Chain A
Amino acid sequence: MREWQWRGFKVVQSIVERLPRAWAYALAVFAARFAWWFSPLARPRLEYNLKVACPDASPVEIRRLSWLNFRNHAKAYADLMMLPRTRVVEMRPLMHVEGWEHLEQARAIGKGVMVVSCHMGSYEVTAAIWSSTLAPVTFFAEELEPRPLFEWYRDTRARLGISVLALDLAGLRKVTHALRDNELVITAIDRDITGTGRVMPFFGRPAPIPTGPTALALRMGTPLLPVCVYRLPDDSYKVEGMPLIIAQRSGDDDADELRVTQQLLRQIEEFIRRHPEQWHVPHRIWEGGP
């Protein structure tokens, strides 16, 4: 994103944050239609990824899924743009949780919780509510370009009690502190952003997958909680927590990392299979993709 695009984003954002939620979504869907028609690379990449995740889907079905995907992602962007004026108390009734007991179980261990997910749904809403009711939340996420956009993204989340740490050494150190203080760290493992992932089967095809969260969990004894957040037809949010994965050390750290990450990945695959219309990764995951 260039400087002028960032400025454009700010103008649109300042309009969207003042709109009622329904209007903001209507505008988002309108913009999504243009993006879906005219995106030169994002749509082919997304459709390629969806085809890998849903091999039995026909081209027409993939096309429908990609449109719904753009639509849901645009709504998630609208949520993000509305964050500066969002109040947690108003968001709370919009979140429906399933598997809460897994989160409570993880918190009771007292070694922090590594919430592992994929690029799906509006995580800000969930994180903001957890931050106000449970414990401080940290996002361990990619650094966006340009820098002002990343700073806006970070400052906007911070006012809801969410820390945003970049995927670097300093970020890793702070994540360790957060886990030591029994806080929640949210990260996604369906895409290798730093280029340091290990190749393993993802939907049956080799793909580089980040093993950082598992490595941390193994070192600190932190429970891993697979979580999926998705949008319901009435634009409320569903949060599904799965049973905990406790990373056990066997003496071979490399093998442990691989084993536990694959275990997590099977869960992530399941989330994506159930809600492919919400899994938005318009990037190259597998070799040979556009």
Chain B
Amino acid sequence: MKVGLVSPYDFASPGGVTDHVRNLAKALTHIGHPTQIFAPSSRRHTDSDGTTFHRIGTPVAIPVNDSVARITLTFRIANQVQSIVQRERFDVLHFHEPLMPAKPMTLLRLSTTANVGTFHAFSRSNAGYYYGRPLLRPYLERLHRGIAVSEPARTFFSRYFPDFPLRIIPNGIDTSVYRPGLSPIRHLRDDKVNILFVGRLEKRKGLGDLLRAYELMRSRVTNARLIIVGDGPLRGSAESFISRHRLPDVVMAGFVPNFVLPRYYDSADIFCAPATGSESFGIVLLEAMACALPVVATEVPGYMSVLEPGKDSLTVRPKSWAELGAALVILARDPELRRRMGAAGNEKAQRYSWSSVASQVVEVYEEARVAARDLVESNVHNAV
């Protein structure tokens, strides 16, 4: 089966959907389904891990959902898209965030094959979906099957489009890449307890709460170290907070490429995900668990669809930095608890391997192809 994966987001910028598309392409190709990727990119040379990549459009940064989405807004890509679609003759086009302007919508409009959509987003509300329903519905009708990455993502979407069924297929994790026992970043492995944060430095990821929690816990656990991996608009204010409060042992690692990231997980003792909301899943949780790290996270719906508090994690209320600090102290002081939770997380992560996720996605592709064929036949029948 020849598959085209369509992402609306800048492929050169790190992000959950981009990682998902990149890994799904690899997994599909691995099980015998040649896959190509369509996405905008801010760089001319984009690394797509060997998958054929079609750079369509230049992204612009749009503030969405307490974050910044780098998407292409021009609809003048139709000719380029049409020529590729006609030439490549895909069996399935798989759209990620299919109702996101402009590329997925343009491709969806021009597609003559089986269309599958995956919905990743979660939020309290979405004005675009609410007011745009009459405009978006014709596009939605072109999708033959739908997927949500978690129950919160499905609930969120169904609030606006209750008639469109979605099957839940979670994000995957490459357990051969993210695993315990890799070579650590050696200067970070000493007698300190390393707390790791991985994510874009933006408001919704809750780094501010983590910094306050770390300040609180340092008086009780003097041998703690905070490692912050990621870049983003809040980097300056995070650095200024660290400097003003004279927080010791904070490592601002910045953006870390994928080939080094697993080594950061393997250099840490605790993983902390303090998001304030709007997370539909949290791939970073799976990455941490696959590396046998215990997790301290906030109780946002997306995270709770992955975590089992008390077994693989300690969870606290969002934006409650005092609770976050207390949970970090508990884990930092108890190596046996860390080991037990890490082992439980590692066991769970195996269930999310990309091979298992990709085979579920292929099932949906088969269903979509049958549905597309039935639709064509019924249209012909009606015409006759």
> Which B residues touch A84, using CB under 8 A?
254-255
Which residues of chain B come closer than 8 Å to A87, judged between CB atoms? 257
Q: Indicate whether B87 reaches chain A with its CB closer than 8 angstroms.
A: no
Nearest CB in chain B: distance from A181 CB, A: 6
Instruction: Give the A-B contact count at a CB cut-off of 8 A.
Output: 62
Quick one: which of B190, B253, B255 contacts A158, CB cutoff 8 A? Answer: B253
Known A-B contacts A90-B45, A183-B183; the reply to A174 vs B259 at CB < 8 A is no
Is the beta-carbon distance between A89 and B263 smaller than 8 angstroms? no
Are B183 and A178 in contact (CB-based, < 8 A)? yes
Asked if B373 is at the interface (CB within 8 A of a chain A CB), the reply is: no
A138 sits at the interface (CB 8 A): yes
In the complex, whether A170 has a CB less than 8 A from a CB of chain B is: yes
Q: How far is B129's CA from A29's CA once the two chains are assembled, in angstroms?
A: 54
* Chain B residue at smallest Cβ distance from A136: B183
Main secondary structure of the interface of B (DSSP, over half): loop
Contact of A155 among B190, B253, B260 (CB under 8 A): B253
Instruction: Say yes or no: B260 contacts A138, CB within 8 Å.
Output: no
Taking the complex as formed, is B88 at the interface, i.e. its CB lies under 8 A from any CB of chain A?
Answer: no
Residues of A within 8 A of B190 (CB): 170
A216: shortest Cβ distance to chain B, in Å?
15
- Expressed in whole angstroms, the Cα–Cα distance for A258 and B189 within the complex equals 32
Within 8 Å of chain A (Cβ to Cβ): is B84?
A: no
Stretch at the interface among A43-51, A161-169, A220-228: A161-169
What is the size category of the interface that chain A forms with chain B?
A: 20 to 34
A168 → chain B closest CB, angstroms? 12
A95 is an interface residue with CB less than 8 A from chain B: no
The reply to whether A158 and B187 form a contact with Cβ atoms under 8 Å apart is yes
- A residues bordering B, Cβ < 8 Å? 84, 87-90, 131-132, 135-136, 138, 151, 154-156, 158-161, 163-166, 170, 174, 177-178, 181, 183
15 A-B pairs besides A156-B254, A163-B186, A165-B187 with CB distance below 8 A are: A87-B257, A151-B251, A158-B187, A159-B229, A159-B255, A159-B256, A159-B257, A161-B259, A161-B260, A161-B263, A164-B187, A170-B190, A174-B186, A174-B189, A181-B183
25 intermolecular pairs with C-beta atoms under 8 Å apart: A88-B259, A131-B259, A136-B183, A136-B263, A138-B186, A155-B251, A155-B254, A158-B185, A158-B188, A158-B251, A158-B253, A158-B260, A159-B229, A159-B254, A159-B256, A159-B260, A160-B257, A161-B185, A161-B259, A161-B263, A163-B184, A164-B187, A165-B186, A170-B190, A174-B187
